[in-house]
Amino acid sequence: MSNAIPMRELKVGEKAKVVAITAIGELGRRIRDMGLVPGAELEVVGRAPLQDPVALRLTGFTLSLRNNEADYIAVERV
Amino acid sequence: MSKEIKVALAGNPNSGKTTAFNAITGARQHVGNYPGITVDKKEGFTKVGENRIHLIDLPGTYSLTAYTMEEIVARNVVADQRPDVVIDVLNAGALERNLYLAIQLMEMGAPIVLALNMMDEANKQGMKIDIDKLADLLNVPVVETVARTGEGIQELLTETVKCAAKNEGKKWEPLSISYGPDLDPALNKMVDLIEKNNLLTDRYPSRWTALKYLESDDEIMQLGREAHPVSAELEEVVKSVSKHLESTLATYPEAVIADYRYGYITSIIRQGVVTRLDAAADRVALSDKIDTIVTHRFLGPIIMLAVMYLIYQVTFTFSETPVGWFESFFGWLGETAEANMNDGLLKSLVISGVIDGVGGVMGFVPLIMFMFLQIAILEDSGYMARVAYMLDRVFRFFGLHGCSVMPFIVSGGIAGGCAVPGVMAARTLRSPKEKLATLITAPFMACGAKLPVFLLFVGVFFEKNQAMVMFMITMVAWACALIVSKILRNTVIKGEATPFVMELPPYRFPTLRGLFIHTWERTWQYIKKAGTVILAISILIWAAMTFPNLPEDQVAAFDAQKTVVQEQIDAATASGAPVAELEEKLLSVENEEAEATLKNSYAGSIGVALEPIMSPAGFDWRTNIALVGGFAAKEVIVSTLGTAYSLGEVDPEDASPLAERIAQDPNWTPATAIAFLLFVLLYAPCFVTVVAIKQEANSWKWAIFSVVFNTALAYTVAVAVVQIGKLL
């Protein structure tokens, strides 16, 4: 757990594993619906021209979310 | 014996569900609305042997919570319509995530058939799926399909019929999975309470209801409270287990439930269901690679601008000819009526009310078709999601969503669009608050019908800087739309931004059939409207501009004048003298009569009555009538001004006599001209747009709000301009 960082800090091209989701309510729900649960592996594949939102590659699909939504996701680099 | 089997089609967005629906039903489908909401309701039929299949397309969802209308609709259809079978279409390439919905459907108890779609792409990604094992572990039929080519669809239907026959007359058997040592005891306790009191058991399986209580699902808890007081006991159980989870694991039931569901899925997948080999051609990876260019920091916005411009060009260039056909057709219809009907009210009603009204609306049809065709291309190819992704940061600041850009552009964000298809383009927005703000502000854009007004006044007052002023008007429209959105989202449409979390689907070529169906169903909805609400309103506006008739003595006075001039013409013709001047005189008498009639009508009375209110903005009764007429269609503003200035019907395309009159009228100063331009830019959307807003917002309240609010805003701005102009 000591290596956990907010997902916002990941750079394009970095891979990470989800450690915890701290969002509640609708946001928490939507994040989990997309398969972002503890243990899920992801890679940051891009950022929008204004650096926000961010694009993530998960198993079999690409997902995008805003930086302030990524703040609720703790990851550790792999 | 032939039987009807009721089948619901479920699946994630981007799983190819719509393609599968089209592949199964072909053109035999019907699109409607679920009552009270804007979620499309699609149904279709097909035959398998003796059996008739009634297919209900559920909205694409990732889950079955109460957070979006789509999810509520999906689960209510399953619970209330009790389909014989639910087909769940899965994107095989993202199997784990797609199974998340399947598990929830199975927990509702419906007999289910899984369609592992896009198997060709999954194979190319290097995925091998053991479908027999999957079917075995989940205990449901599994069929491989490629909906785009139709592969596997027949087999899917055969399995569906088999599944229906097997489960006929049987009770639904909901799947029951473990939610761990903390939640399971609570769940069991709740199930006991629910079953003892029959809480909602006619609609939902008891364990499912208990789960929804643990997930604090507003809709189900509301239903529960209304149904039975035991609901309070259930809520107590939830409260105590929530407290326990928070103190021991710093988590809450909803999160635990999701984790266990994914855990269940992973445990199945890991039993050798999926093997991943090296990818031959991974479409998702390819898509990500394309995105490094298409959403590149510098190239991305440039490509996007080019695409937007192209869409705009194609729509308005290609639709020009068919729009011309519609216009000539309705022109011909009008002339035929003119030639064959007796003069009188009925004739006036048929020509000015019905033909001009409906014709004006039908004239938009080709425009709307081209617009929807291109939006369908953008959506089906996956580019629309990238546009939202690139622009979200900007639009979010104003309380909007990345997807708001499309409605703005189409409405006239590049001068010359049209708010009707623009407002309808907002359908792609899934966030209700952002969508509402977009619907209300998109009509501020400089649509094609406002342009003649702008050109006329800019030509008169800003002759030297025409292009500059026209550009400024477009910029003002954007500024107003964005700023007003921001204000609305902080006041009447207040609320947190809807989460953006969105899939970026892999790029793909849209199928022709899909494009055709999407374009047609949206266009058809529009045509249906033209025949009903819009016809009624256009008759109303006709009546306002026709009644009451001029008092008889005035009509007689005009007739007398006309007779005198006519006699002079006859005499001149007989003697061979030139008649041109006299004919002009006759025309001017007729135009004066038209002016008097208009001023005397209800619309005219409104115009006169509005003078005290509108004079701070510098508008006289003529301008007021024109603005009232502009509510029917903004094109009407110039022609009504013409009538009000006794110039007869002015052709909006060539308004030079009117320009001269306006230049001479001391009432018009540059300040009032600017006030007028801004007023026209911002005030109430034309009624076709208002009807479209009603449709998209699904409420007359917001449609009326757009009329009142936008007019009030326009008025405030116009008055401010004139008053400041006076000070300078």
In this prediction the ipTM stands at: 0.94
Chain B residue with minimal CA distance to A52?
B393
B499 to A69: CB separation less than 8 angstroms, yes or no: yes
Res B352: pLDDT: 74
A49 to B295: CB separation less than 8 angstroms, yes or no: yes
Cβ–Cβ under 8 Å, residues B416 and B459:
no
3-state secondary structure of B176: coil
Choose the weakest-confidence range: B189-198, B297-306, B586-595, B691-700.
Answer: B586-595
In chain B, residues with a C-beta closer than 8 Å to the C-beta of A69 are 499-501
Q: Is a pLDDT exceeding 90 seen at residue A47?
A: yes
Res B596: pLDDT: 82
CATH 1.10.8.60 at B180-276, yes or no: no
B residues 5-44 lying closer than 8 A (beta carbon) to A = 14
**Among candidates A37, A38, A52 on the partner chain, residue whose Cβ is nearest the Cβ of B393:** A52
CA distances from B243 to B189, B235, B236, B624 (A): 17, 12, 11, 64
Res B600: pLDDT: 84
The tokens describing B582, both together, are 């006299």
Section B415-430 average pLDDT: 80
B-interface mutation test, from A15, A17, A45, A52, most B Cβ less than 10 A away:
A45
Res B317: pLDDT: 79
Helix (H) or strand (E) holding A18: strand A15-21
Residue B65 sits at the chain A interface (C-beta within 8 Å) = yes
Section B98-113 average pLDDT: 96
CA distance A54 to chain B (A): 8
Let me know how many helices (H) and strands (E) chain B has, helices first: 35, 10
Cβ–Cβ under 8 Å, residues B690 and B635:
no
Chain A residue with minimal CA distance to B291?
A46
Q: What confidence tens digit (pLDDT) does each residue in B182-227 have?
A: 999 999 999 999 999 999 999 999 999 999 999 999 999 999 999 9
A29 to B292: CB separation less than 8 angstroms, yes or no: no
B-interface mutation test, from A56, A57, A58, A66, most B Cβ less than 10 A away:
A66
CA distances from B104 to B64, B287, B353, B519 (A): 7, 30, 54, 33
Cα angle B472, B390, B408 (rounded to 5 degrees) comes to: 40
In chain A, residues with a C-beta closer than 8 Å to the C-beta of B385 are 64
Amino acid of residue B209:
T
Q: How confident is the model at residue B633 (pLDDT cuts 50, 70, 90)?
A: confident
Parse chain A into domains and list their residue ranges: 5-77
CA distances from B233 to B108, B199, B215 (A): 23, 12, 16
In chain A, residues with a C-beta closer than 8 Å to the C-beta of B498 are 26
Smallest CA-to-CA distance from B358 within B633, B685, B628, B31 is with B633
More confident residue, B37 or B302: B302
In chain B, residues with a C-beta closer than 8 Å to the C-beta of A58 are 94, 97
Choose the weakest-confidence range: A54-63, B192-201, B459-468, B495-504.
Answer: B459-468
Q: Is a pLDDT exceeding 70 seen at residue B654?
A: no
Parse chain B into domains and list their residue ranges: 4-167, 180-276, 282-318+364-546+614-625+632-644+653-728
**pLDDT exceeding 70 applies to what percent of chain B?**
95
B502 to A63: CB separation less than 8 angstroms, yes or no: yes
**Among candidates B62, B93, B500 on the partner chain, residue whose Cβ is nearest the Cβ of A66:** B500
B392 to A66: CB separation less than 8 angstroms, yes or no: yes
Choose the weakest-confidence range: B333-342, B557-566, B646-655.
Answer: B646-655
Q: How many CB pairs under 8 A join A and B?
A: 131
Chain B residue with minimal CA distance to A54?
B389
CA distance A68 to chain B (A): 10
Can you list the pairs that B37-42 forms with residues at least 24 positions away whose Cβ atoms lie under 8 Å? B37/B69, B37/B73, B37/B698, B38/B69, B38/B427, B38/B695, B38/B696, B38/B697, B38/B698, B39/B69, B39/B70, B39/B73
Section B460-475 average pLDDT: 83
The tokens describing B235, both together, are 């809520």
Q: How many Cβ atoms are within 10 Å of B248's Cβ, its own excluded?
A: 9
Is B14 labeled as ligand-binding?
A: yes
| Average pLDDT value for chain B | 87
Q: CA-CA distance, B127 to B119, in Å (whole number)?
A: 9
Res B630: pLDDT: 86
Res B78: pLDDT: 94
Q: CA-CA distance, B419 to B652, in Å (whole number)?
A: 19
Give me the residue label for tokens 């009764």.
B621
**Among candidates A24, A30, A45 on the partner chain, residue whose Cβ is nearest the Cβ of B288:** A45
A69 to B501: CB separation less than 8 angstroms, yes or no: yes
CA distance A37 to chain B (A): 7
CA distance B89 to chain A (A): 16
Res B33: pLDDT: 65
B297 to A30: CB separation less than 8 angstroms, yes or no: no
Smallest CA-to-CA distance from B383 within B247, B290, B451, B513 is with B290
Architecture of domain B4-167: 3-Layer(aba) Sandwich (3.40)
Section B493-499 average pLDDT: 87
Is B334 labeled as ligand-binding?
A: no
Chain B residue with minimal CA distance to A35?
B97
Q: How confident is the model at residue B233 (pLDDT cuts 50, 70, 90)?
A: very high
Q: Is a pLDDT exceeding 70 seen at residue B692?
A: yes
Res A76: pLDDT: 95
Res B30: pLDDT: 76
Quickly list H helices, B270-364. Answer: 283-294, 299-318, 320-340, 345-348, 356-362
**Among candidates A24, A30, A49 on the partner chain, residue whose Cβ is nearest the Cβ of B301:** A49
Res B416: pLDDT: 67
Cβ–Cβ under 8 Å, residues A67 and A25:
no
The fold of A5-77 is SH3 type barrels. (2.30.30)
